[in-house]
Amino acid sequence: MTLSEEFRSRNFSIYGQWTGVVCIVLCFALGIANLFTTNVLHIILSAVCLASAFVILFIEIPFLLRICPTSSKFDSFIRRFTTNWMRAAMYTILSGLQWASLATGACSLIAAAVFLIIAALFYALAGLKSQEFVGSKTLGGAGVAQMIV
């Protein structure tokens, strides 16, 4: 299945996964950019945003669990997020943390919050429509790991 066929499949978990990839880039960039501010809450939330980029990286690109040396505890934590509902919950929590940055004034962490909630909505829609979670083959989904090993 090619990338364009994946998008035409109308499976919302594919849309959520690709929105998650956008979230990785945004959380990483905005996490670093907001570390250098004078607002303590923004510094804390930017560190959370930066850490969530790495968690999302391992959740959305499962092939990395095979090639990166990680602990068994971390692997079991990441493997909890295999269903659409668990991913929707995780993205909702991460988005809520970034929305908390509004408490002391607007900053660019809102962009990360918006994309995190969009990913949560895609996964929730996939759950509501009872769609199976389908990982993109481009991102190391079904079959890619077996071809390389």
Domain count, the chain: 1
Dihedral-angle region of residue 61 (phi above 0 means left; psi in -120 to 50 means alpha; beta otherwise): beta
pLDDT for 7 equals: 63
| Domain that residue 84 falls in | 12-148
Question: Residue 70 domain-assigned?
Answer: yes
- Closest by CA to 136, choosing from 128, 144, 127, is 144
Question: Residue 2 domain-assigned?
Answer: no
Total residues belonging to the chain: 149
Question: Residue 83 domain-assigned?
Answer: yes
47 burial type by CB count under 10 A (0-12 exposed, 13-18 middle, 19+ buried): middle
In a structure prediction context, what are the per-residue pLDDT tens digits for the chain, which is 149 residues long?
Answer: 565 666 667 788 888 988 999 999 999 999 999 999 888 999 999 999 999 999 999 998 888 888 888 888 988 898 888 889 999 999 999 999 999 988 888 888 999 999 999 999 999 999 998 888 777 767 666 544 444 43
Is the pTM higher than 0.75? Answer: yes
Question: Residue 24 domain-assigned?
Answer: yes
Question: Residue 5 domain-assigned?
Answer: no
pLDDT for 128 equals: 93
pLDDT for 51 equals: 94
Question: Residue 6 domain-assigned?
Answer: no
Question: Residue 91 domain-assigned?
Answer: yes
pLDDT for 149 equals: 38
Question: Residue 144 domain-assigned?
Answer: yes
